[in-house]
Every structure is written in structure tokens, then in C-alpha cells.
Amino acid sequence: MRLQHLLDRIEAAGNRLPSPVLLFIYLAGAVLLLSALAHWLNLGADHPLTGARLQAVNLLSTEGLHRILTSTVNNFTQFGPVGTVLVAILGIGIAEHSGLLGTLMRAIVLKAPQSLLTFLIVLCGVLSSLAADTGYVILIPLAALIFRAMGRHPLIGIAAAFAGVSGGYSANFLITPIDALLAGVSTEAAQLTAPDYHVTPAANYYFMAVSTLLIAAVGTWVTNRLVAPRFPHFQTAGDQSAGSPALDADHGENSVATEVDTFLTLGERRGLLGVALMTVLALALLLAGLLPANGALRDPQTGSILQSPFMAGIVTLVSVYCALAGIVFGRLSGRYRRWGECVEGMEQHMTAMGSYLVLMFFAAQFVNYFAWSNLGSILAIGGAHQIQQLALPPALVLLALIFTSAFVNLFIGSASAKWALLAPVFVPMLLLTGLTPEATQVAYRIGDSSTNLITPLMPYFGVVVAFARQYQKDVGVGSLIAVMLPYSVAFLLSWSGLLMLWVIADLPLGPGASVLMSP
């Protein structure tokens, strides 16, 4: 009862927050007022690296007004997350519109042996972040049907899929739009203190690739040990008489295999084979450009891979690959009968980015106002000084950020909105204590993903409740939170533990991205 009361209070408090767009409008206005007050109070700080005195700048002055008027357009068009995410969406839009991503998830899940089914459902959920919302609208209801066909309660399948799709949202084996988005915001924030610092979309790749397997394994354990015992075997009144897919333990795997033929058409199989062959060719071309010392994708001056056209253009490469894969699948499967249909896929997904662009416009103004006022730098220097006085190990500093991010996520559902809000403070602050922006970013991602499962403010939370009510009418917000809470706690603890081990071992988070700043 106490836990339910606490969750009710959290939900009520979160519902009183304005939308993310209004939040950034209010914050931008607050920065303007605070900049004038800080200037009047003569607030400032000495930069610990250069020794230069940083004074608060009044943005409500004549000069500040001129800067706002002449820079508003550039603030938006040059904001890091805008261009990179839109380029990625162009290619991924074709892959999703063609049916490739949905078919691929179905093929993996439906062909799985029963013993590995839960693991693969969670894993596919984690990987579905490449296709934005596909996991919510395809994998979650599909998982319910598969578990029902196995004679298990559909809510177990919904819980497992939801855990992977939402709880493992930040992890993946590939570079995703969220990598590009967060890297852009991190770069903008880091440059408040280090003007030449650049965070690449691949900055957390090594850690997130390992995290993908961790989340899949932990999610499987929680499903089998903690969630499944809460639900008896599912069986409707008409299952036995109507030839339903309810199964006994001896024939479950064979019956699931029979349903694969129903789900995957000949055209879909032909399309998947074509994409597999295209992927082999793409990997061969990629290796041909990277392995030779003078490879076309290496830096032409130094031969480096870390600082190369390959790393700088990785979002473009991912987008082009997804676009070609979608076209190949669409043509071979029969989904695309004319070339213009792939353009429709790009247009549809770009249209859906309207709300994202509105959010990014106001987030860009807020971030730039914060930078111009010097309030971010002054706050970062003061906070860094306090952290240095405490002399906390880097692992504990990152752990504190993880739990801060997890708590804030209960009230603000948008990952991009939260990072645009937190990054200008935490990235430069921790950079001055010796922690890289890449490390700060990865700590944020852990906290943000782990509590997605238990916040009703997450946009698709209500959709998952609706899916669950198809099989159990009394499921409500509290019911789903109770089911998903073990996943949330397990992900938060295990993922944090992985990062602590990563810090202790001083492993790179991604290509050229360490945990600690170089001296």
C-alpha cells in the first residue's frame, strides 16, 4: 500500500509538469531573467584551466537583444541533434516503411526455440530502438500472441517485450538515432567549457553493445524468476474446442514453428535473404575501406580510423545502409512495386518528426542562452569545486548522476528533453573534475532507460496498458507498474554495476572515448 501510494503521488506530480516544449520556453525566459540578476550581482568564476575570469552576461541588455534576434535561426539550424537525427531518420524511415524491421523482428522471435524465446523477445525489444516506435506497436502485441500460443499468460510476453523495448532503449548493437541526438547535445554542452570538444555518435558504442546482452540476460532472468510465477497458464474457455494455439509442454515448440509459416510469406523470406546478401556486400566494402593503411575511409593525412571520414560520417553510413536494405526488401518482398514508394517512406517518417523539431527549436534557444549568459560555466565551475572538495571516486560521481537521471525520468518522459536540460549543467561540471562528456552521457542513459518502465508519463505507457487489457480486463496503471518494477530495479542495479566495473577497469566507452580526461 505504501509503495502504491508513493507511485500515485509521483504520477500526480508528473502530470502537473508542463509539456517539454513549454518547459523549455519557461526555462529560456528564466535564463534571460537570471542573466540580468547575475550580472547585477557581479557573479563570476575563474576558469580552472585558463585562469580567465568569467562574468555573468546580461542578455536583457541592448547587446543581448541584438544577439538573440540575429542568432535565433542559426541556434536552431546549427543545433547538433537536429541534422544528424533527421539524416538518420531518412534511411531508417525506408527500412521501416518497407516492412523490413517489423518482418525481421517477427522472424527472429517466431523461429526461436522455446528455451530461448524469452531471451530473444527481450533482445529484439532492445534492438528495436533502431526503428523508433516499432517495438511498441509490433513486438509487444506479437510477444503476447507468442506466449499465448505456448500456453503461457500473454502478460508475461508483454512484460518481457516492454522491458526490452523501453528499459533497454539506450542499448543496441548498432548506432541509432538516439546516439546521434545525445551526442549532439553533449557536444553543445561540453563546448561551454572546452570549445573544441566533440562527442561522436559512436562515443558509447562499446559499452552499449555489451549492455545489450546484459539487459537481455537480466530481463530474461526477471521474466522467468519474478514475473512468470505471478501468472498461471493462460487458457480461454474456447481454446480447446476451437483449435486455439494453447499448447502443452510436449508440443509447444513444434506448434510455434508451425505458426512461423503463417506469419512469414514467401515474399518476406525472399526479401530477408536479399537483405542478408546485401549486408555481406556492404560489410566487405566497409572493411575494404578500413583495413588497408591507406583505405578510402581512413583519415587521408594520418591514416587514423578514430579521426576519419568513417567516424565523422557514421550516421550517414547507417542511414544509407538502412535505406538500401529497405529498398531491397521492399522490391523482393513485393511491398514496393514502384521506386517512388521508398520516397513515401522517408516523407511519412519526416512528417512524424514535426513535434521533435518544435521541441528542438526551443531547446536550442535555451542551450544557447545558457551558454551566452555564462551561467552554465559559472555553475559548472562552482559545482566542480564542490565535487573536488568531497574527493569522491569517479565511479561514485557517475553513480550519483545515474540515480539523479532515473529520478528525473519519472517526471519528464522525453529523453531528448531531459538531456537538453541536464547536459549544460552536468557535462561541463564533471568535465572539470576529470570525467569525460562521454562518461557523463552514458551515466545519464542508464538512469533514463531504467525507469522508463515505471513512469506513466512515458508516451507509450498507456498503449501497453491497453494491450494488457485485451487479456486481463482489470489491468491498470498501478498493475503495470507493479509488474515492471522488478525489471526497473534489476536494470538500474545491474547496469550501474557494469559501469562501475567499466570505470575500475578503465575500458574505453567507444572508439576514442575514455572515462577519464587525458591529463
Q: Which residues contact 496 (CB under 8 A, 6 or more apart)?
A: 399, 402, 446
Question: 8 pLDDT exceeds 60?
Answer: no
- Label residue 114 by pLDDT band (50, 70, 90): confident
Q: Which three cell numbers stand for residue 465?
A: 496498458
Yes or no: say if 54 and 428 are a contact pair by the CB < 8 Å rule: no
Dihedral, CA of residue 159, residue 15, residue 444 and residue 381, to nearest 10: -170
Q: Which residue has the higher pLDDT, 416 or 288?
A: 288
Query: Which percentage of the chain shows pLDDT scores above 70?
Result: 80
Model pLDDT for residues 118-159, shown as the tens digit of each residue: 998 899 889 887 665 667 766 787 788 778 767 788 899 999
Q: What is the mean pLDDT of residues 420-446?
A: 88
Q: Where are the domains of the chain?
A: 2-505
Q: What is the pLDDT, as a whole number, of residue 133?
A: 61
Q: Which of 90-104, 123-137, 140-154, 162-176 has the lowest mean pLDDT?
A: 123-137
Q: What is the mean pLDDT of residues 340-359?
A: 81
Reported pTM: 0.66
Q: What is the pLDDT, as a whole number, of residue 119?
A: 93
**Residue 356 CB neighbour total at 10 angstroms:** 18
Q: What is the pLDDT, as a whole number, of residue 71?
A: 92
Dihedral angle sign, alpha carbons of residues 59, 65, 67, 68: positive
Q: What is the pLDDT, as a whole number, of residue 380?
A: 61
Say how far apart CA 297 and CA 286 lie, in whole Å.
Answer: 8
- Label residue 255 by pLDDT band (50, 70, 90): very low
Q: Which residue has the higher pLDDT, 492 or 262?
A: 492
DSSP letters, 33-62, are: HHHHHHHHTT-EEE-TTT-PEEE---TTSH
Q: What is the mean pLDDT of residues 413-425?
A: 74
Question: 161 pLDDT exceeds 50?
Answer: yes
Element (H, E) at 319: helix 314-333
